[in-house]
Amino acid sequence: MKTIRRVVCALSGGIDSAVAALRLKQKGFDVVGLYMVNWDHLEEGQSECPQTQDKFVAKSICDRLGIEFHVVNFVKIYWNDVFLYTINNYRKGRTVVPDILCNRIIKFQHFHEYAINRLNADAIATGHFARTSFGDFLENRSEKNKEVLLFRGSDPIKDQSYFLSALTQDQLRRSMFPVGSLTKPQVRQIASDANLNEVLNKPESMGICFIGKRKNFSDFIDQYIEPSPGPVRLIDSGETIWHHSGIHHFTIGKRVSVPHHQYRTHFGLFVVSLEYSTQTVWVCEGTYHPSLFATEFVISQPVWIANSPFDFCGNCDEANTEFSLQRTHKPHPCKLIRFTDNLVKLKPFYPVRAAAPGQICAFYRDSECLGCAEIQYVLRTLAD
């Protein structure tokens, strides 16, 4: 087995990746810092890129650590493989998680290929809060036929295994997570002890992967999706109470603001479903309306990292497991009923609010992340 000597670490200009690079250096690896440019802000007519400062910080960290610094441009790949997919799904009224796709395609595919082929890396590293059975520094890796497992990060608040739930064996087998066994306070203390002042007071990164948080996300999306007017209708009566300019402005489960002269309610209006064929936004009164709570839905194209829930019951067609719809959500117990290898019915043990087509379910068995699948459609709600 080849000894790992040269590790290329993804640097974002934030504290987590900076400490990851520092820990690699302390372990004696030949560390290379690589900053990815994945979004062209000139596309939006901006004369100055808001992420320029991040690149300068990443370069400063590399200088302080005495390691190489490189920059790679993945703008075209990100646009074609991640952003257009995201926009097309928003256009159809689907809820998407671009960070999961971004990790699988950009960070753990093209980034790795560049690191291996151009920078002669033996492995890559990122600042994600996650762990694998091969260890934070691949110290427990063994023969090629042994599967690597993905686990939650040690910090339950910062755990990012949800965003890595679509990674493959090949991708995880070559990846280090140097901060995976640390808590966020420990990361901050390490950065402070090492005088990494450039990243100590930087705010956490937010928003869509590589695009960032926007002051008005609707205005941003409107640059890429043409207006498509349609009705806003009450789920209980079918009454049309308002009109909108595009279903991409709405999210299932979120509150809708309708002018008082159009419709008055003391309970608030919330999105139940988005109908692409008619551009209809269906709404209900009250955040606890039965139509908001799914009791069955269909998931498709599951990605199992090593073990599927069906493996633990002797390859049966019904299996119990747990799933999360968001990184911060507490796992829900559920039953999976397999129709085919690519189509599965999910029955949560208790109703789930705002399960939306396009949303990603990440599956867990205790601290192990088993993989993920996408919600295709909701079969039943408490209203059915």
Could you list the active site residues?
Answer: 102, 209
Backbone angles phi, psi at 274, to 5 degrees: -125, 120
d(CA 313, CA 306): 15
d(CA 12, CA 4): 23
Residue type, 54: D
**Torsion 104-23-116-58 (CA) sign:** positive
Residue type, 351: P
Cβ-count burial of 116 within 10 angstroms (0-12 exposed, 13-18 middle, 19+ buried)? middle
Cα→Cα distances 82→67, 91, 96, 226, Å: 30, 14, 11, 19
Would you list the DSSP string of 80-146? IIIIHHHHHHHHTT----HHHHHIIIIIIIIHHHHHHHHH--SEEE---SEEETT-TTSTT---TTS
> Do 175 and 8 touch, CB atoms closer than 8 A?
no
d(CA 20, CA 65): 11
d(CA 174, CA 170): 7
